[in-house]
Amino acid sequence: MRGAAGALVVCLTLMATSAGAVECRTDTFLGEIYTICEADPRDDDIRLFLEDDSGEIYGQFYAIDAALVSQGLELAFAMNAGMYHDDRAPVGHYVEDGQEKMRIITSAGPGNFGLLPNGVFCVRPGRADVIETSRFLADDPPCRDATQSGPMLVIDGALHPRFLKDGTSKYIRNGVGTSADGERVIFAISGAPVNFHTFGLLFRDHLQLPQALYFDGRISRLYAPDLGRSDLGFRLGPIVGITRPAR
């Protein structure tokens, strides 16, 4: 009995260790390689990061990781999460830990952000959702963290109406998609330049998500230590990350 009880303790310990752990993998779709990181907001600590306690822009994944040390935490995953101005301030709506730092933007405009419809990635206790901007305004969800970006990649199972199958604008792109119940969140970044149409198909057809949002291109970067990946480059604005107890 003692041996069986010991085995049970070990089993439960392993289950507790694996619970809440974002899982990252490489995947192939339509001949293109992607890195896919899947999280469950019921277990995973999904947060947005912009400034440290002194008001300085984090800008880099390692700066966030260093700041988490005092909390006994570390980053398990991170990527850039929305467009920003030259001073790294968010272009659109931004909320961090319940504090709004930028209002919602509803107007069309130049660039990808203004290619309506755009949307908001909203994190609430126990769920996370990609919500098209006009619906977000109507529903007014109580987001603990939120970042607005654009364009939407997938809206209610349909690709953005402006995407062209043979579009020639290709970049390394990253974004996020969510399930209807808000319990499945998948972040993706392409390994090579792709157009919007192909990137949207990844979320809709391969990952089978009804809502997906584009974060950015060209500057797209990923932190996935379990894959040995920590992309470097120019300082970023908003960053989405998932924390875990420091190892």
pLDDT in tens, 102-135: 999 999 988 899 999 999 999 999 999 999 999 9
How confident is the model at residue 20, as a pLDDT? Answer: 59
Report residue 22's pLDDT band, with 50, 70 and 90 as the boundaries.
very high
Q: Which pLDDT band holds residue 86 (cuts at 50, 70, 90)? A: very high
Decide the pairing of beta strands 173-178 and 158-159.
unpaired
Inform me whether the pLDDT recorded for 166 exceeds 50: yes
Of the candidates 191, 241, 210, 203, which has an alpha carbon nearest to the alpha carbon of residue 22? 241
pLDDT of 200-242, one tens digit each?
999 999 999 999 999 999 899 999 999 999 999 999 999 999 9
Answer yes or no: is pLDDT of 13 > 90. Answer: no
**The predicted structure's pLDDT at residue 138:** 98
**pLDDT category of residue 5 using cuts at 50, 70 and 90:** very low
* 167 Cα distance to chain centroid: 24
What is the average per-residue pLDDT within 185-194?
A: 98
- Give the separation between CA 48 and CA 45, rounded to whole angstroms: 10
Q: Is the pLDDT assigned to residue 49 strictly greater than 50?
A: yes
Give the C-alpha separation, 20 to 243, whole Å: 10
Average confidence score pLDDT of the chain:
92
